[in-house]
Structure 1
Amino acid sequence: MNWKTGLMAAALLAGPAMAQQFTSAAEVKPMLAATKDRWVAVREYDGRDLLYFTNLLAWRCGMDRIFYSVNGGAETALDSEPCYMDEAVPNAQKAENHLPFLSFPLGSVNAVSVRVLYDDGSEDAGSYQRGAILIQ
């Protein structure tokens, strides 16, 4: 066994590396950058437009705030559940009073803008047209 093989074996025996908790901007930014085209989605359901923020909320622990506007309207802060920092999955979505969507009249959501403020003070934004985010 050469020294490189020995190092690889030692690394394998040492066990898995410390798992990321995805609770900081540094950890969540790469995930959100990779999925920016899917930050939000619209679904027509039960005679309503449901505007989903599921992807963003899954990484909320690295953010200070999420803002959105619909059809060029006023920017509004999205209410989200807290992070569960003392639990194994801090970003879990489990609060019944914090659904991952908002409800609007059927066919009324034509454009959505989103602005994310990260916990490191930086921000990112995206704009979406209904056809690009409509779930069939």
Structure 2
Amino acid sequence: MRFFGLVAAICISPAGIATAGETRIAEDQTPTGKFMTATEIRPILTATKGNWVAVREYGGQDLVYFTHLLSWRCGLHSVQYSINGGDIQEFPIPECPADIAQPNAIPDDALIYLSLDKGVVQSVEIELLYDDLGVDSAMFERAAILIP
């Protein structure tokens, strides 16, 4: 599997997308009890790796859902993906406000899926950058993530 080569020193634009210039540092991993650190979410995302993304055929399109990753996004710096071995892109993940009761709740206006032409998605590669600068990745074939 080819992958994205994230490194500890990456740059982040104001929108939170990796660019050239700034350096990310590992965040404090003291457990919060709210699943807001890599230490807290990594075991969950590791155990549920097969659910990171899903594909659904709907309305003449392939919809690639990132809902599971969004539900556990606190503790992540970024989610990158590639469809069919194509260009690497960043999937936008909303901020996690620590001052609310459920910071992992997906905001109503969050993008939760991508729309592509029906039948186009044959594989999806995912790479996660945790807030402790750890990386995990997976590659999924269409048949394994297709929602009936």
Scaled to the shorter chain, the TM-score interval is 0.7 to 0.9
Q: CA deviation at 1:19?
A: 7.5
Per residue, is there more helix in 1 or in 2? 1
1:4 corresponds to = none
Please list every run of 5 or more consecutive structure 2 residues that lacks an aligned counterpart in the other structure. Answer: 1-30
Secondary structure in structure 2 of the residue aligned to 1:83: coil
Instruction: Tell me the TM-score normalised to structure 2 length.
Output: 0.77
Q: CA deviation at 1:131?
A: 0.2
Please list every run of 5 or more consecutive structure 1 residues that lacks an aligned counterpart in the other structure. Answer: 1-17
Structure 2 Cα separation of the partners of residues 64 and 50 of structure 1: 24
Q: Bigger radius of gyration, 1 or 2?
A: 1
Instruction: Tell me the TM-score normalised to structure 1 length.
Output: 0.83
Runs of 4 or more above 6 Å deviation: none
Deviation per residue, 1:53-81 (Å, 9 max, x gap): 11111111110000000000011011122
1:37 corresponds to = 50
Secondary structure in structure 2 of the residue aligned to 1:120: coil
Aligned-pair identity (%): 46
Secondary structure in structure 2 of the residue aligned to 1:61: coil
Verify: 1:72 aligned to 2:85, yes or no: yes
The correspondence of residues 16-27 of structure 1 with structure 2, limited to 5 A, is: 20-27=33-40
The correspondence of residues 1-136 of structure 1 with structure 2, limited to 5 A, is: 20-96=33-109, 98-136=110-148
Structure 1 Cα separation of the partners of residues 108 and 51 of structure 2: 23
Q: CA RMSD in A?
A: 1.3
Structure 2 Cα separation of the partners of residues 129 and 114 of structure 1: 12
